[in-house]
Amino acid sequence: MENYKDLPEMGVVVCRHCERVVETFPSFKVTTFYAICSSDCLEQESGRNEKSESA
């Protein structure tokens, strides 16, 4: 198994709703993964969508 301690933190996990950086990870190349940072974030995003649709 390779040693990843010396790799730069070129990977990032970004929240798909609020676009916050959730985590970084060592990677050989720039890599972006999308996830949800928390259930609160998802609830806040759905609340914003409901307000914008009613306007």
Q: How many residues does the chain have?
A: 55
pLDDT digits (tens, 9 = 90+) for 22-52: 999 999 999 999 999 887 887 666 666 555 5
Name the residue ranges covered by the structural domains of the chain.
11-54
pLDDT at 21 over 60: yes
Burial of residue 47 (CB within 10 Å: 0-12, 13-18, 19+) is exposed
d(CA 18, CA 49): 13
pLDDT at 55 over 80: no
